[in-house]
């Protein structure tokens, strides 16, 4: 008896719809086992992870705050992945965007600069993120260097650069030698939506980005070209699409979005530039993109779900002393299950029984 994989005649739409749910279900089962191994009660641990954050308004706002960068980065990454190029350095583009925007905030600190500061910071973040993402894209189209490795290497470089700035030239003189800039001025801060709350304007910008991506992919020729280049490169060549140009475009967009996400995070929830502004948003966004099956609306839902795991992870650490690394394990396992379940959209399993004689023509 043998279990073999074979290609379906056409993609299964039923599986396409339910596969993220199956993946989440399998992940929760796996996590229950892990909790039990760690000596925690799985039921109450899952409750702290997935139910408790949904029951109070502070946590609900916090989920939206965490989902903001995740969704924004993942939307950009999904364009790259649809075009079958692999930007995995969004974390670096996020940091560089944060640095570029912070430059203006630091320079205008204490001056009577007007309300143009924040929009200019967001623009700087977008441009810097896009330029930083164009480095691996240009290395790819000009020299054929792997965009995966180049974009990833630049994450470490961006991290060290940010570290240098906040320990060196930009360090707050009144900051007791902590590696951080001074708190940004009010004109350089992303305003909150509800007075006294945490939810900020970035969430609205993210929703606009989701809508724009849905229009780009569903209603424009460029969006169509991106899909074709990824799904059928040969057909794209016959169609006369310029794949190099599309690589540069998708990298620039994803870098810009990651950069904006970076400066929004710094000028919003964090309020100043410091190391460790990202708990790996750029990498978690890769999971968000796949869990949302590279579809803008799907990414929005997936982003909220992954944000829930960050908040749940923090609460589980406080309430049940569950290590924070469990969240990363959870995210990794989730991505595995999502990818595995997605495989069943295109393939199916068939059991081959040894007793049955298969004639050579029947195959």
Partner 1 sequence: MGLLEAIILSVLAASTPLLIAATGELVTERAGVLNLGVEGMMIVGAACGFGGAWLTGSTVIGALCGVVAGTLLSLIFATMTLGLAVNQVATGLALTILGIGLSGLIGAGFVGEKITPAPHLYVPGLTDIPLAGRILFGEDAFIYFSLALVIGIWLFLYRTRTGLVLRAIGDNHVSAHALGYPVLRIRMFAVMFGGACAGLAGAYLPLAYTPFFIPGMTAGRGWIALALVVFSSWRPARLVAGAYLFGAVTILQLHAQGAGLGIPSQFMSALPYLATVIVLVLISRARTGGSTAPAALGAVFVPDR
Stretch that binds partner 1, among 24-32, 63-71, 197-205, 326-334 (CB under 8 A): 326-334
Q: Integer distance in angstroms from the first to the last C-alpha of the chain?
A: 17
Separation of alpha carbons 252 and 129, rounded Å: 8
The Cα-based distances of 34 to 28, 270, 305, 327, 330 in angstroms read: 10, 32, 20, 11, 10
Residues 347, 341 contacting (CB under 8 angstroms): no
Q: Which of 5, 29, 51, 211 binds partner 1 (CB under 8 A)?
A: 5
Note whether 35 binds partner 1 by CB under 8 A. no
Q: Which of 286, 300, 302, 316 binds partner 1 (CB under 8 A)?
A: 286
Separation of alpha carbons 84 and 88, rounded Å: 12
Q: Where are the beta strands (DSSP E) in 154-218?
A: none
Least separation in angstroms between residue 347's CB and partner 1 is: 6
Note whether 131 binds partner 1 by CB under 8 A. no
Query: Which helix (H) or strand (E) covers residue 82, if one does?
Result: helix 57-82
Note whether 6 binds partner 1 by CB under 8 A. yes
Separation of alpha carbons 51 and 213, rounded Å: 31
Q: Which is nearer to partner 1, 160 or 215 (CB)?
A: 160
Q: Which of 149, 193, 270, 320 binds partner 1 (CB under 8 A)?
A: 149
Q: Which is nearer to partner 1, 188 or 247 (CB)?
A: 247
Q: Which is nearer to partner 1, 190 or 287 (CB)?
A: 287
Q: Which is nearer to partner 1, 129 or 269 (CB)?
A: 129
Site for partner 1 in 73-92 (CB under 8 A): 86, 88
Q: Which of 1, 7, 10, 112 binds partner 1 (CB under 8 A)?
A: 7
Which of 282, 220, 283, 227 minimizes the C-alpha distance to 250?
A: 227
Separation of alpha carbons 55 and 70, rounded Å: 22
Least separation in angstroms between residue 69's CB and partner 1 is: 17
The Cα-based distances of 25 to 21, 41, 213, 337, 341 in angstroms read: 6, 18, 29, 9, 11
Least separation in angstroms between residue 72's CB and partner 1 is: 19
Bridge partners, residue 352, by sequence: 2
Site for partner 1 in 330-349 (CB under 8 A): 330-333, 335-336, 339-340, 342-343, 346-347
Bridge partners, residue 4, by sequence: 350
Separation of alpha carbons 267 and 118, rounded Å: 8
Least separation in angstroms between residue 263's CB and partner 1 is: 21
Query: Which residues of this protein are in contact with partner 1, per CB under 8 A?
Result: 4-7, 86, 88, 135, 139, 143-146, 148-150, 152-154, 156-157, 160-161, 163-164, 167-168, 283, 286-287, 290, 323-333, 335-336, 339-340, 342-343, 346-347, 363
């Amino acid at each position: 008896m043998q279990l073999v994989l074979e290609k379906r005649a056409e993609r299964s739409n039923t599986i396409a719809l339910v596969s993220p749910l199956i993946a989440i279900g399998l992940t929760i089962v796996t996590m229950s086992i892990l909790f039990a191994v760690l000596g925690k009660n799985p039921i109450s641990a899952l409750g702290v992870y997935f139910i408790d954050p949904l029951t109070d308004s502070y946590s609900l706002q916090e989920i939206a705050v965490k989902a903001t960068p995740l969704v924004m980065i993942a939307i950009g990454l999904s364009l790259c992945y649809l075009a079958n190029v692999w930007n995995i350095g969004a974390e670096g583009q996020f940091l560089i965007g944060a640095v570029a925007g912070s430059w203006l905030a630091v320079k205008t600190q204490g001056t009577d600069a007007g309300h143009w500061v924040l929009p200019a910071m967001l623009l700087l973040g977008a441009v810097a993120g896009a330029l930083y993402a164009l480095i691996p894209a240009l290395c790819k189209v000009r020299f054929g260097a792997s965009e995966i490795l180049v974009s990833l290497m630049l994450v470490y470089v961006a991290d060290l650069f940010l570290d240098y700035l906040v320990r060196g030239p930009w360090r707050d003189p009144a900051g007791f030698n902590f590696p951080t800039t001074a708190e940004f001025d009010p004109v350089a801060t992303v305003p909150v939506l509800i007075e006294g709350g945490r939810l900020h304007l970035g969430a609205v910008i993210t929703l606009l980005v989701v809508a724009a991506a849905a229009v780009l992919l569903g209603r424009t020729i460029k969006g169509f070209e991106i899909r074709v280049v990824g799904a059928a490169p040969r057909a794209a060549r016959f169609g006369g699409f310029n794949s190099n140009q599309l690589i540069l475009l998708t990298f620039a967009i994803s870098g810009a979005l990651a950069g904006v996400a970076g400066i929004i995070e710094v000028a919003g929830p964090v309020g100043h530039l410091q190391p460790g502004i990202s708990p790996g948003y750029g990498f978690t966004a890769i999971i968000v993109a796949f869990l949302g099956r590279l579809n803008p609306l799907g990414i929005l839902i997936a982003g909220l779900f992954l944000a829930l795991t960050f908040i749940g992870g923090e609460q589980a650490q406080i309430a049940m002393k569950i290590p924070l690394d469990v969240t990363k394990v959870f995210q990794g396992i989730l991505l595995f299950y999502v990818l595995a379940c997605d495989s069943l959209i295109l393939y199916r399993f068939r059991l081959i029984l040894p007793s049955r004689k298969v004639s050579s023509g029947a195959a």
